Amino acid sequence: MKFFIDTANLGDIAEAQALGVLDGVTTNPSLMAKEGITGAENILAHYQKICDLVDGDVSAEVISTDFEGMVEEGEKLAALHPQIVVKLPLIADGIKACKYFSDKGIRTNVTLVFSAGQALLAAKAGATYVSPFIGRLDDISTDGLNLIAEIRQIYDNYAFDTQILAASVRHTMHVIDCAKLGSDVMTGPLSSIKGLLKHPLTDIGLAKFLEDYKKGNQ
Ligand code: G3P
């Protein structure tokens, strides 16, 4: 399972990269705005900085909602760095643009996916990644993890290459449950990755080992 970090914060990206378990980064316009990154040139420069920090795929989202605009923006983003994956919203023009980029060998991440039918369309259009938002489904009393299971079954039935990128992951149990369900990738905040480290018995056991070592080596 690949671990992506869902942020535009360079400090968090660097910390996850330093841990040695990071496979990529996902961003979106909200995450960019949260870091105060505004204006087309600054946004492109920020993507460049992220690509310099990590080895893996970096999803960069278009803000156009029409096919021509998405193609123009996506081509500019893809030309910026070989690690860039063009992130497109799941609307009709986004699916058209996904097919266009897929035919050209440009990698895509189809985002804002909330149903199995939408995920099927993204796979048919040749998406590299599909991003079901599990946390936002949980927010409205709908089982986000069930969507991961449904997409897994559909993609396996037909051997679609599209990778399931569980998005809107909020905590460590989302990460573990997505891994159990066979999600190819998860993207979440740094806390969802660091939370996996935690177990009180590890801390208690380590303290005891060090104490016993100290006693024996006085
Ligand atoms: O990966 C999608 C993500 O950025 C949305 O997360 O927590 O705003 O639902 P959230």
Q: pLDDT tier at 20 (50, 70, 90 boundaries)?
A: very high
In angstroms, rounded to a whole number, what is the distance separating the alpha carbons of residues 89 and 74? 12
Superfamily the domain 2-217 falls into: Aldolase class I (3.20.20.70)
Q: Ligand 1: distance of its center to the CA of 153 in Å?
A: 23
Domain ranges of the chain: 2-217
pLDDT 10s digits, 48-76: 999 999 999 999 999 999 999 999 999 99
- Give the position, in ligand 1's atom list, of the atom nearest the Cα of 133: 2
Residue 132 C-beta-side C-alpha neighbours within 13 Å: 32
pLDDT 10s digits, 29-42: 999 999 999 999 99
Residue nearest to atom 2 of ligand 1 (CA): 168
User: Would you name the residues annotated as active-site residues?
Assistant: 87
Residue nearest to atom 8 of ligand 1 (CA): 168
**With left for phi above 0 and alpha for psi between -120 and 50, is residue 66 left, alpha or beta?**
beta
Report the chain's mean pLDDT, rounded to a whole number: 98
Q: pLDDT tier at 172 (50, 70, 90 boundaries)?
A: very high
- Give the position, in ligand 1's atom list, of the atom nearest the Cα of 168: 6
Lining ligand 1 with CB less than 6 A are: 6, 26, 28, 31, 133, 135-136, 167-168, 170, 187
pLDDT 10s digits, 82-119: 999 999 999 999 999 999 999 999 999 999 999 999 99
Per-residue pLDDT for 153 more than 90? yes
Residue nearest to atom 6 of ligand 1 (CA): 168
Average pLDDT over residues 132-136: 98
Per-residue pLDDT for 126 more than 90? yes
Per-residue pLDDT for 218 more than 90? no
Contact by Cβ (8 Å): 125, 98? yes
